[in-house]
Amino acid sequence: MNTGWSCRRSVWLAVACAALVAGALPAARVWAAVEPTEAEGEAFRAAVAHVAGAVVRIEPLGDVAAAKDAVAMGPSTGLVVDPSGLILATTFAVPETASTVIVVTPAGARTTARPLGRDAARGVVLLATDPLPDVPRLDVASRRNLRPGQWAIAVGRAWKATEPSMAIGVVSAVERAWGLAVQTDASVSPMNYGGPLVDIAGRVIGIVVPLPAETAGLTSGTELYDAGIGFAVPLEDILHELPRLRAGESTLPGLLGISYLSRDRINGAPVIASVRQGSPAARAGLRGGDRIVAVDGRPTRRIADVRHAIVPRHAGDALTIAVERSTAQGDVTMDVTATLAARLPPWRRAILGVVGAESSTEVEWVVPGGPADVAGVVAGDRIVGMAAPSQGVEATQPTSSSLAGTLAGCEPGDDVRLMLGRSGGDVEVEVTLAEMLRQVPDASVPVAAGDPLVGPLDAGRIARLEAAEIADPAVAVIPSGTAPAPLIIACGSPRGRVEEADAIAWKAVAAMSGVAVIVPGSSDPRQWSADDVPGVLRGIQALDAMRPVDPARIAVVGSGAGGGFAWLVAERLGPACRGVAVLDAPIPRQVTITDAEPGDARWILMGGSSAESVSRLAPDRMRLEAAGHAVGSLPMASELPRELLVRWATLLGVW
Amino acid sequence: MRHVAVRFLVAVVVVVAAVGLHADGPATPRQVAASAARHVVKIYGAGGVRGLEAYQSGIILSPDGRIATVMSTVLDADDIECVLDDGRRFAATLVGVDPRRELAVLSIEATDLPACDVEAGRAGPGTRAMAISNLFGVAVGDERASVQRGVIAAVVPLEARRGAAEAPYAGDVYVLDFTTNNPGSPGGALVDARGRLLGMLGKELRSTASGIWLNYALPADELVAGCQEIVSGRVATTTGPTAAPFDLRALGLVLVPDLLGRTPPFVETVVPGSPAEQAGLRPDDLVVAVGARAVASRHALEMAVGSIVAGDPVRIAVIRDGRVVDCELGPRPEEARP
């Protein structure tokens, strides 16, 4: 009985087991097949297949072979947006100079295409080729429905004309670069620039573009390739402007021409500090002090809101700007219409001809013969009011930054009225603003008035600017005292590691004037290289930690090879560099000259050791002047005039 | 009775799991990583000076100690050490190299090694893959090699260079959508979602077309073929093609002189009776492609023409009067050889 049951049980068990195993086998397979890793791969392929028929390869014409060590132009990708033969590609792959490119269709056929209109801000160009009747219709993913974290696949056809490539990632952010682009972590490279970024259903989110770092709000020069950060400009935005591009119209970023009172360019209140002369804002009647409350009906509470409203727009677009203005009758709100411009006239710096401390409105020194001197302003006066009729500004109790803002909006030749607080009683003077100084006046600014620590017997010291990770630190002349010091970065001949003795000549002239000097060394004793620039920047930080540096008075000087390096340092410093003085040093090719802006304008001194050298610098002088920078001359000599440069450095912050 | 049923269920689950795994290999990424890592060895050899790394990766090919890796300066050493996934260390000897595929086979004195399951076919773009390698040499001592995951981005012929030199291998590679061009990665294993070997991670190379760094792997079929050639001693001793490369002169094409090194490949004259004339090429044509390969410069055209193999017809695309015209070039004539 017992045995029988046991036997029966064994048989039953064996049968049941076999049946279950047989039945479970396919189940196990199914389970393995839907394992997410494989299902994902299938979903990626399906998404790419959905759009692949509209993705073409773009080949440049003529030689643009890869430069030896650079990410250079080779084949790239494009997206057919209309079967009549309209293709979107990037301005990276189709530069202005290209009149024809080759398009390779998914079937492998080569044909030519010519560029129609371009959108410079988004970096896309529309190409026209023969009709492509077989391309699939594109489904557009609306930006409204995008969420960070969802799948994003960058499709390219540059690797192979007959099979699309894919890079897998997610949407990293929906509104980037002031609303111009969607951000993704999919690996973007020249191989998929111009291709679509699609969602997991194959709907097109946008066109993958190498957005200039500056547009993206990053430090200029940032290398974005292969960095986990990529951009796509939404297809719906481009389709919106397709008629314009098809008509061959090229669009440029639109500029308004205002600066803000707040230094916080994101969260600051959108209150206008100054309006650029001749700009769209000036023509629309905007003035310093106006608060922008809405752009095209969208409320603007922060500066970032205004930028979000303006950056995606093109030159030629009209904006309705609502501003709040204080008038004698109380606050009024008004709407003005401004038509954005592609280029603003270069800013011309207008000055009163006074020097003051950074955070006060007290006049420390008056430029002899300058507008303020002529009007009777004297050292020790305090500016307690300023009226600039050209700007519609009547300021009482101005701060140094509001004064600077008002002045930034004025042109040389404008009249302003100053109310001066003076010990003998307040006075009112009228000053006709002058152009920014070109030549350095002979008289020098008295050393940090009221700083008892500075005296001829204790005029500072020379120290090495030790900083972590810097192998051969620069040496510096550090003046005594505590007031923020003007700074000269003196780039001599390349000499490898610098010694403290190399700074002695500078100490003799700079320390007594309260000016700091950094003498950097080169990593290679025979030449300067761009790799030496970060060491200089670290030196400035190290110096600032020992003795505060006046941010409005930082200058770079150099002669010969050191002059070329000085230009590199100046470019890296950007707006922080307020002066460049060079001898026998034309502007290196890799240095770009940006238009002068309030807060980003330089006083430049150029000179040569021979008449021939001086005449060779003429084209550079013209470029700099055309960009709105003040350019003066150095006396013809083989060495930099240290005393003059020290005087110049103290005057860089002139109002 | 309930006790028996529970035991029975456990037995079934175990059987099903075992059968399932045997049928399809490991399936979850965790299982795949653990299984594939057993086939990867860390290789230490020469280097450590002038910025060259002294380590790379290798794949166990056979249970008796054959290991595939990339041909590199790491192997220029009297003592090459292989560290297995289980932590065992072996001195390795170099069996041979395949200079064209830049492969090498090492041998260690071991038996019953876990040789990997090779995927015979080619995978396509979008295939989920994992890479296991001695990435940056961070897996020290007995630590397991590093695992990365991503997808295959493209399958394309390798057009790449190291410094100024063209890579000798020009067959298909898997271009990967994740960063594998790292020190130590070369020689690592690329496996699919089931742990089958798809290929071997390649050496650091830049794309000729775009200048970008390549993340790529040599497909498994090429890897196996190369290793078999090495083991059987059938590897060609030279890296160059056996026939003299085809050139523009043999084709009958004279281009506009390349004065600046950047002149586009415009045709100046076509030699009467030449293959170029028979193909219909004419003076003033701008050559834009040879076969599927775009040529934007005279140099690129010379490289493309050099890779034409005898016996294959080739299409040359030119621009003539603003239109693309395809010219069919007949099979490469035998007399083009010296």
The answer for A 201-240 residues in CB contact with B (under 8 A) is 225-226
- Cα(A163)–Cα(B127) distance, rounded to whole angstroms? 14
Fold entry, domain A461-651:
Rossmann fold (3.40.50)
Q: B136 pLDDT exceeds 70?
A: yes
Please give the CATH topology (third level) of the domain spanning A258-339. Pdz3 Domain (2.30.42)
Residue A24 near chain B (CB below 8 Å): yes
Q: In whole angstroms, give the CA distance from residue B95 to residue B229.
A: 11
Give the Cβ contact number of residue B241 at 10 Å. Answer: 15
- Whether chain B has a CB inside 8 Å of the CB on A163: the answer is yes
Output A175 or B189, whichever has higher pLDDT.
B189
Rounded CA separation A602/A594 (Å): 10
> How far, in Å, are A224, A311, B195, B206 from residue A209 at the CA level?
11, 17, 36, 21
- Give the span between the Cα atoms of A212 and B226, in whole angstroms: 44
pLDDT category at A463 given cuts 50, 70, 90 is confident
In the predicted structure, residue A290 carries a pLDDT above the cut 60: yes
The residue among A530, A491, A493, A510 whose CA lies nearest residue A647 is A510
Chains A–B, number of C-beta pairs less than 8 Å apart = 185
Residue A273: name the closest of A153, A370, A393, A145 by CA: A393
pLDDT of residue A512: 81
- Report the share of chain A in percent with pLDDT over 90: 33
Lowest mean pLDDT among A448-457, A517-526, B287-296: A448-457
Max Cα distance, chain A (Å): 129
Say which residues have a Cβ less than 8 Å from residue A593's Cβ, sequence separation at least 6.
A587, A623, A624, A627, A629
Closest residue to B151, CB basis, from A31, A166, A190:
A166
- Single out the residue of A611, A610, A571, A598 nearest to residue A587, CA to CA: A571
Distance between CA atoms of A220 and A256, rounded to whole angstroms? 21
Of A228-237, B13-22, B90-99, B141-150, give the lowest mean pLDDT range: B13-22
Q: Specify whether the CB–CB gap between A627 and A600 falls below 8 A.
A: no
Chain A nearest CA to B76, separation (Å)? 27
Whether B193 sits inside 8 A of A35 (CB atoms) is yes
* Segment A302-323 mean pLDDT: 90
CATH 2.40.10.120 given to domain A50-246: yes
CATH 2.170.150.70 fits A350-435, yes or no: no
Identify the pLDDT of residue A114. Answer: 92
Sheet-wide strand order for A475-478? A461-464, A475-478, A516-519, A485-491, A549-559, A579-583, A603-607, A630-633
Choose, out of B1, B161, B177, the residue to mutate when testing the contact with A (most A CBs < 10 Å).
Answer: B177
The residue that leads in pLDDT, A445 or A568, is A568
pLDDT, position B332: 60
Note the pLDDT tens digit of each residue in A514-562: 899 999 988 888 888 888 888 888 888 888 888 888 888 899 999 888 9
Of A12-21, A414-423, B61-70, B167-176, least confident by mean pLDDT is A12-21
Residues of B in contact with A68 (CB under 8 A): 164
Same topology, domains A50-246 and A461-651? Answer is: no
Average pLDDT, chain A: 83
Chain segment A102-131, per-residue pLDDT in tens: 999 988 888 999 999 999 888 899 999 999
Count Cα atoms within 13 angstroms, Cβ side, for A600: 14
Determine the average pLDDT of the residues in A159-164.
88
Among residues B156, B261, B286, B152, the alpha carbon closest in space to that of B208 is found at B156
CA–CA gap between residue A655 and residue B302 (Å, rounded)? 63
Token pair 């949407």: residue: A171
The CA-based diameter of chain B, rounded to the nearest angstrom, is 96
Cα–Cα dist A88/A98, whole Å: 15
Q: How confident is the model at residue A30 (pLDDT cuts 50, 70, 90)?
A: very low
Looking at residue B81, its amino acid is: E
Taking an 8 Å cut-off on Cβ atoms, the answer to whether A17 and B156 are in contact is no
Query: Is residue A638 very low, low, confident or very high in pLDDT (cuts 50, 70, 90)?
Result: confident
For residue A220, the model assigns a pLDDT of 40
**Would you tell me which residues 98-157 of chain A have a C-beta closer than 8 angstroms to some C-beta of chain B?**
100, 102, 104, 108, 110-112, 156
Residue A365 has pLDDT above 60, yes or no: yes
- Residue A299 has a pLDDT of 94
Binning chain A into helix, strand and coil, the percentages to the nearest 5 are 25, 30, 45
Q: Is the Cα torsion angle A332, A337, A340, A343 positive or negative in sign?
A: negative
Q: What is the pLDDT of residue A46?
A: 96
Choice between A449 and A613, residue whose per-residue pLDDT is larger: A613
* Arithmetic mean of pLDDT, A585-589: 87
How far apart are the CA of A196 and the nearest CA of chain B, in angstroms?
Answer: 15
Contact B126 A37 (CB under 8 A): no
The angle subtended at Cα A644 by Cα A473 and Cα A370, nearest 5°, is: 130
Tell me, what's the pLDDT at B146?
93
Of the candidates B153, B68, B164, B172, the residue with the CA atom closest to the CA atom of residue B115: B68
For residue B319, the model assigns a pLDDT of 87
Burial class of residue B121, CB neighbours in 10 A (0-12, 13-18, 19+): exposed
Cβ–Cβ gap A163/B154 under 8 Å:
yes
> With bands split at pLDDT 50, 70 and 90, how would you rate the model's confidence at B197?
very high
pLDDT tens digits for B106-132?
Answer: 999 998 999 888 887 899 999 999 999
Of A39-48, A343-352, B254-263, the range with the lowest mean pLDDT is: B254-263
Establish if B14 touches chain A: CB-CB under 8 angstroms. Answer: no
Distance CA A594, CA A579 (A): 14
Domains of chain B with CATH codes? 24-237 (2.40.10.120), 248-336 (2.30.42.10)
Domain residue spans of chain A: 50-246, 258-339, 350-435, 461-651
What pLDDT does A62 receive? 57
Out of B23, B151, B213, name the one closest to residue A28 (CB). Answer: B23
